[in-house]
Amino acid sequence: MTAALTGTRAQLPAQWPAALSPQCLEVIDMPTPYLVTDLDTVVDRLSAFTAALPGVLPCYAMKCNPSTEILATLRDHGAGFEVASLGELRMLERLGVDPAGVLFSNPVKAPGHIAAAYAAGLWRFSFDSANELRKIAAHAPGSAVYLRLLVDDTASSFPLSRKFGAEVPEARDLLVLARQLGLRPYGITFHVGSQCGNAAAWRHALGATGAIMADLLDDGIRLDMIDLGGGFPARYRADVPSIGEIGAMVLPALAELLPYRPGLLVAEPGRHLVAEAAVMAVGVIGREVRGGRNWLFADVGAYNGMMETIQVPTGWDYPIWSSVPGHGEVATLPFTITGPSCDSSDTMFHGVELPAGIDVGDVVYIGSDGAYTLSYASAFNGFAPPTPLFVGGGAGEPDLRELTDELVRSGTSGGH
């Protein structure tokens, strides 16, 4: 295949942190693969989130990247946290996070996880069925529960409605049942799907939420919390709604579609806060031609750090750069990039334009790589996950203390 000259000089994407430019990463004297996270970018993303959604406390969905350094940075800057398991709660406890301020948002939980979390002081649990309510009543009596509502998530890259969510017509009866079981009907949450591409999805979900809240008033139930869930997108290569655009959709909806404003508004951003803060450095370990296509073999694949690239049928469009001198100005070729394992499905990218001369020993830099990389990674075939590295310390603290304190305080009138 003939190499093609790029028509104009390529530039790094705007969201690529300056501290993680290829020129900066070249000075790192350690073998690939490694994942470098700029903690200042994490703080900047948190600040932008709170500016776009004032009065909404971000409770970090730690499943997407539970690195201690990230958790500590978010803790120090006033964020709350959401967990899906007892193991995640224990990680937060080791960092000094009060379980009373943590949300347990997995709608289906192991009985032992409920009991242990309740014993630790966590008192708010998500649910989406009568069976889960009975389980919570048995293992966390008197605790507060918030209903996971089934909403339209078709605009997302990773829909979640196949697995979780109560139908709108059953929502009222479930919250009434919670009260009958001695639990505290506390709130409603929803999830518009991971990497949601439509800001209006939150407005539609809030419309359904508001109708349920109005019906519950006839039962003497006023909810204390609305949880906007996750789904807030990060920028890879394709355009996605900005957090400002989402805020401009959500804020009027809160005023227009809810019969009253609950005392606590939260959200569960994960990918949005950390994806764009990290870059993975991957070494080229082989170059071949297979079936007329150029292939690069890398020391990271889907199983040890890049699982999302094989989860979406259309692939995952990460911004990519290389260590080849003159990248962005020299002739390029399209490459298939595959991982180091013996599994042929361990192939991450197809048709990626890279310098035609790239070869063994060069480095490929994968941007926007801070979410669902390390947390998914295994040592399949004996290939270790990337080494995590961190730069920056986080300056410019968002004003979240009052909201975070309220997340803990709101349990004093009936919580555990």
Residue 370 vs residues 42, 159, 235: alpha-carbon distances, Å: 10, 20, 11
CB under 8 Å to 47, separation ≥6 — which residues? 396, 398
Distance separating alpha carbons of residues 219 and 172, to the nearest angstrom: 9
How many other β-carbons are positioned within 10 Å of the β-carbon of residue 115?
A: 17
Residues classed as catalytic: 342
Closest CA to 42 of 75, 88, 89: 75
Whether the link from the prior residue into 33 is cis, omega within 30° of 0, is yes
Buried b (16+ CB within 10 A) or exposed e, 325-338: eebeebebbebbbb
CB under 8 Å to 94, separation ≥6 — which residues? none
Closest CA to 275 of 316, 322, 227, 311: 316
Angle subtended by helix axes 111-120 and 130-139, to nearest 10: 50
AA letter at 362 = D
First and final C-alpha spacing in the chain: 67
AA letter at 158 = F
Distance separating alpha carbons of residues 321 and 325, to the nearest angstrom: 11
Instruction: List phi, psi (to 5°) of 15.
Output: -80, -5
- The partner residues of 290 in beta bridges, in order of sequence, read 293
AA letter at 318 = Y
Are the beta carbons of 145 and 186 closer than 8 angstroms? Answer: yes
DSSP E strands: which ranges in 29-105? 34-38, 56-61, 80-83, 102-104
